[in-house]
């Protein structure tokens, strides 16, 4: 009784005859079935994968040795002998995700089910790549202090500002920290002995929204991060869409005002020059200077340059006309960009996140109205636009999620993923053939 998706006979493990590749594929297949089902048995996994019980039994031995599975009793009898049940252990290994902002790392520790077990915030004394990597090492020690370091996955997820070549782990350009062509993954490997997967922090925050936030039930979503810049994480069928060289989602550089202000990217009228945090504060300052009467004047006092977008949203929520006007102007620019996203991608959900997006619930109504006016009715009818409920650790959680997407491969990759099993692995080992029973 084989499942329809049973592999061909040649993919099976035969003593002395298996290729290394099909052996690895078989191990991954068995582990992924066990991970999805949580509890299973050798006969059941053999039926589902189409592999022989001997092969599956040997793989289960290995999973027990690695500590990723444990025995948890016997299955109900179906007439013959009762099969040994095995349980997937989400606490067998831990993932670390980290996100960099100017002057600070935020780091999270999760189990294999993406449950956040600990968080840490570590100051970075200067924004040079070397200082940042050194501080990441400190942050890693802090966040993993309460667990066996030997159980950390051998890959760390990192979110950084800027445009990132994710394939090669190189930060191509990050204005926030003044980086150009920084080979961050290589530096982390050299200094901390960990492989690193590096991506833009706003894009990976979309993964956090999928696992823990507004996107838990959706397939297609776009997360729009508004902070000192604007960036989007495009999620297609619950996977992050990275594009040809991992630059997809540079929403902040969509032109929304053809002859608008010059952007450091070289273009004019980019969205982030009109609607990111600094632009919102700048617009409010300009309107105050024109003699607008607003409580913002007293908030700003002698230092209008210290006004923040959050101040403006707060005062707008109190009913101030000048601040409300600023919010409406910003919602208009954002609405153009979001309407384009709705028409292009037809998402189920758009989430406004990042520190400015989260602080701006009063942006939602005018923005949605602008999108309704501009987007085509049919795709608009399928979309909800909401504010993120995730906190400031969202990019770090998303960076961990990037690692967890390949946790099974990392665990099976061998000795670099030391999972804290007993040194020879024999304490958890069952007698040969112990699972091969009905
Ligand atoms: Zn630009």
Give 83-114 as a 3 state SS string: CEEEEECCCCCEEEEEEEECCEEEEEEECCCC
Q: Is residue 176 part of a domain?
A: yes
pLDDT tens for 40-55 read 999 999 999 999 999 9
Question: Ligand 1 centroid vs 223 CA: distance in angstroms?
Answer: 19
- Verify that 321 and 233 share a domain, yes or no: yes
CATH of residue 203's domain is 3.30.420.40
pLDDT at 414: 64
- Verify that 125 and 189 share a domain, yes or no: yes
pLDDT at 363: 93
Q: Is residue 431 part of a domain?
A: no
- Verify that 176 and 100 share a domain, yes or no: yes
Question: Ligand 1 centroid vs 341 CA: distance in angstroms?
Answer: 17
- Verify that 226 and 298 share a domain, yes or no: yes
Question: Ligand 1 centroid vs 361 CA: distance in angstroms?
Answer: 26
Whether residue 83 has pLDDT greater than 60 = yes
pLDDT at 420: 34
Average pLDDT for 300-309: 85
Whether residue 310 has pLDDT greater than 80 = yes
Select from 71, 88, 105 the last residue of a domain.
Answer: 88
Return d(Cα 438, Cα 183) in angstroms, integer: 53
Question: Ligand 1 centroid vs 262 CA: distance in angstroms?
Answer: 8
Domain that holds residue 29: 9-88
CATH of residue 24's domain is 1.10.10.10
Return d(Cα 395, Cα 355) in angstroms, integer: 11
Question: Ligand 1 centroid vs 270 CA: distance in angstroms?
Answer: 5
Select from 62, 88, 114 the last residue of a domain.
Answer: 88
Q: Is residue 437 part of a domain?
A: no
Residue 263 β-bridge partners: none
Q: Is residue 428 part of a domain?
A: no
Percent of the chain with pLDDT over 70: 89
Whether residue 34 has pLDDT greater than 80 = yes
- Verify that 274 and 138 share a domain, yes or no: no
pLDDT at 298: 85
Whether residue 378 has pLDDT greater than 60 = yes
pLDDT tens for 412-423 read 986 544 433 333
- Verify that 358 and 227 share a domain, yes or no: yes
Q: Is residue 142 part of a domain?
A: yes
Whether residue 274 has pLDDT greater than 60 = yes
Question: Ligand 1 centroid vs 36 CA: distance in angstroms?
Answer: 43
Return d(Cα 236, Cα 224) in angstroms, integer: 14
- Verify that 374 and 252 share a domain, yes or no: yes
C-beta of residue 82 within 8 angstroms of C-beta of residue 76: yes
Q: Count how many domains the chain has.
A: 3
Whether residue 316 has pLDDT greater than 60 = yes
- Average pLDDT over all residues of the chain: 88
pLDDT at 273: 97
Question: Ligand 1 centroid vs 135 CA: distance in angstroms?
Answer: 30
Question: Ligand 1 centroid vs 181 CA: distance in angstroms?
Answer: 19
At residue 149 the predicted structure's pLDDT band, cuts being 50, 70 and 90, is: confident
Q: Is residue 163 part of a domain?
A: yes
pLDDT at 20: 72
- Verify that 139 and 107 share a domain, yes or no: yes
pLDDT at 302: 78
- Verify that 357 and 375 share a domain, yes or no: yes
Q: Between residues 213 and 12, which one has the greater pLDDT? A: 213
Whether residue 433 has pLDDT greater than 90 = no
Whether residue 17 has pLDDT greater than 90 = no
Question: Ligand 1 centroid vs 267 CA: distance in angstroms?
Answer: 5
At residue 244 the predicted structure's pLDDT band, cuts being 50, 70 and 90, is: very high
Q: Is residue 374 part of a domain?
A: yes
Whether residue 425 has pLDDT greater than 80 = no
At residue 92 the predicted structure's pLDDT band, cuts being 50, 70 and 90, is: very high
Question: Ligand 1 centroid vs 14 CA: distance in angstroms?
Answer: 57
pLDDT at 383: 98
Whether residue 29 has pLDDT greater than 80 = yes
Work out the angle between the directed axes of helices 184-192 and 129-143 (0-180°, nearest 10): 50
Whole-Å CA distances, 400 to 32, 159, 231, 361: 19, 9, 19, 27
- Verify that 200 and 219 share a domain, yes or no: no
- Verify that 235 and 383 share a domain, yes or no: yes
Select from 70, 88, 106 the last residue of a domain.
Answer: 88
Average pLDDT for 305-319: 92
CB atoms within 10 A of CB 410: 20
Q: Is residue 436 part of a domain?
A: no
- Verify that 109 and 48 share a domain, yes or no: no
pLDDT tens for 384-416 read 999 998 999 999 999 999 999 999 999 998 654
Return d(Cα 293, Cα 168) in angstroms, integer: 52
Whether residue 326 has pLDDT greater than 50 = yes
Whether residue 221 has pLDDT greater than 60 = yes
């Amino acid at each position: 009784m084989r499942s329809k998706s049973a592999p061909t006979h040649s993919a099976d493990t035969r003593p002395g005859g298996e290729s290394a590749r099909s052996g690895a594929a078989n191990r991954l297949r068995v582990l992924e079935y066990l991970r999805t089902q949580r509890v299973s048995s050798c006969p059941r996994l053999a039926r589902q994968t189409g592999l022989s019980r001997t092969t599956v039994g040997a793989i289960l031995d290995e999973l027990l040795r690695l500590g990723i599975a444990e025995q948890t009793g016997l299955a109900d009898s179906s007439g013959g002998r009762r099969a040994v049940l095995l349980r997937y252990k989400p606490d067998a290994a831990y993932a670390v995700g980290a996100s960099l902002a100017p002057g600070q790392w935020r780091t999270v520790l999760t189990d294999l089910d993406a449950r956040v077990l600990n968080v840490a915030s570590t100051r970075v004394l200067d924004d040079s790549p070397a200082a940042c990597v050194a501080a990441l090492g400190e942050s890693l020690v802090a966040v993993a202090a309460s667990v066996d370091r030997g159980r950390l996955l051998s890959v760390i997820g990192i979110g950084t500002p800027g445009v990132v070549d994710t394939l090669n782990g190189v930060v191509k350009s990050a204005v926030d920290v003044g980086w150009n062509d920084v080979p961050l993954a290589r530096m982390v490997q050299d200094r901390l002995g960990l492989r690193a997967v590096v991506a833009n922090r706003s894009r990976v925050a979309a993964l956090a929204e999928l696992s823990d936030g507004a996107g838990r039930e959706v397939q297609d979503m776009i997360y729009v991060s508004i902070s000192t810049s604007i960036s989007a994480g495009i999620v297609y069928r619950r996977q992050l869409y990275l594009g040809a060289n991992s630059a997809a989602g540079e929403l902040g550089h969509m032109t929304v005002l053809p002859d608008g202000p010059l952007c450091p990217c070289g273009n004019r009228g980019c969205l982030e020059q009109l609607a990111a945090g600094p632009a919102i504060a700048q617009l409010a300052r300009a309107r105050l200077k024109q003699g607008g009467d607003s409580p913002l004047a007293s908030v700003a006092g002698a230092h209008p340059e210290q006004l923040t977008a959050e101040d403006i949203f707060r005062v707008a929520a109190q009913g101030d006309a000048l601040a409300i006007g600023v919010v409406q102007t910003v919602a208009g620019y954002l609405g153009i960009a979001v309407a384009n996203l709705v028409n292009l991608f037809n998402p189920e959900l758009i989430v406004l996140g990042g520190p400015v997006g989260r602080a701006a619930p009063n942006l939602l109504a005018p923005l949605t109205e602008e999108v309704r006016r501009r987007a085509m009715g049919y795709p608009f009818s399928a979309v909800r636009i909401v504010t993120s409920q995730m906190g400031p650790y969202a990019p770090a959680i998303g960076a961990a999620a990037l690692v967890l997407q390949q946790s099974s491969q990392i665990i099976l990759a061998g000795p670099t993923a030391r999972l804290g099993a007993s040194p020879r692995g024999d304490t958890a080992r069952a007698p040969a053939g112990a699972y091969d029973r009905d």
